[in-house]
Structure 1
Amino acid sequence: MSSSDRRTLVLGLAALALGGCGFRPAYGPGGVASDLRGGIAIDPPDTRNAFALVERLEDRLGRAEAPVYRLGYRIGTSRKALGITGAQETTRYTIEGDLTFELVEIATGRLVQSGNVTAFSAYSATGSTVATLAAERDAERRLMVMLADQLVTRLIATAPGRAR
């Protein structure tokens, strides 16, 4: 049996196993999160961090075409010194992020889901002032991506259509 024949056989068996267990894509027709894709109006961003968060959420959930839900959020961040030299100079920082959210059904005003997700990112402060500022902004952007990804995972796992 050639390598490609084995690969085809293994993929076929995997597809059969997934089909047998009732696997359906989350965003697919009849999927538990099908109402979420293009169905969430996200509050507009008002800061650089909020812009990065909303950008990632829209990448994952799509822009609201016919919104069923409204997503409100509040971002909190704190920066802490992580690496300190003997001369008391900070060489590394960590940024901790906390995202509190509320998913509300637009038609009824009913709170569907709320909660918070947390993550952290770090950056080096050993370069020039410009390099350190660029590293800090990059760490903030990565943090917003992590928070958005955790939020989307939570929304899919507890989607309103989950009981179907």
Structure 2
Amino acid sequence: MEFILKFFVEGWNSLTDSFVLKAILSGAAAVAIWLIGIKHVQILGVFILLVFIDLFTKWAAIAYQMLIDEYGYDKDQIAVWEKYRAIPLAFEKGLISSRYMRKGFVFKVLTYIAATMAAVLFDEMSGQRQFAVSLVWLYLGSCEFLSIMENLRDGGNAMLGKFLDLIRTKIENKVKL
């Protein structure tokens, strides 16, 4: 119980450091983005949300595996809430590293920005309207979606394994791998 309290206290402290500045800047940025109506930045917000969901489901999958490997849980008997409740314990045991996850988050967001900028330039150069940008968004969004589905499968949702097999088969049939 102590590790859960410690986890929440550290999270709270991290959130509240320079809270006023963070709140003012994020509020100003949110208002500016929606008032200006820059679709590229709005989609970046959606992509960031997908990355957060991806990280959270990855943490749950790691915690699920920890419950099986280290605590001897029967994988068919683990309740959904138990793997989420075990995330702070997985952090404490060092199975989840916020530094590693933070690097992955920053890399994904920078990749999104660079790919979107290149696509905008390509569309401008070619005279196409949102052709390359749509492809970039579709590819990056699909990668995050599939990663979330894989994390959910690895976190004990066996039904998603069948879904991912179906997708893999469809892709292999199209590409003829």
TM range, smaller chain = under 0.3
Q: Which structure dedicates a bigger proportion of its chain to helix? A: 2
User: Whose Rg is larger?
Assistant: 1
Q: Which structure dedicates a bigger proportion of its chain to strand? A: 1
Greater RCO between the two (CA within 8 Å, min separation 6)?
Answer: 2
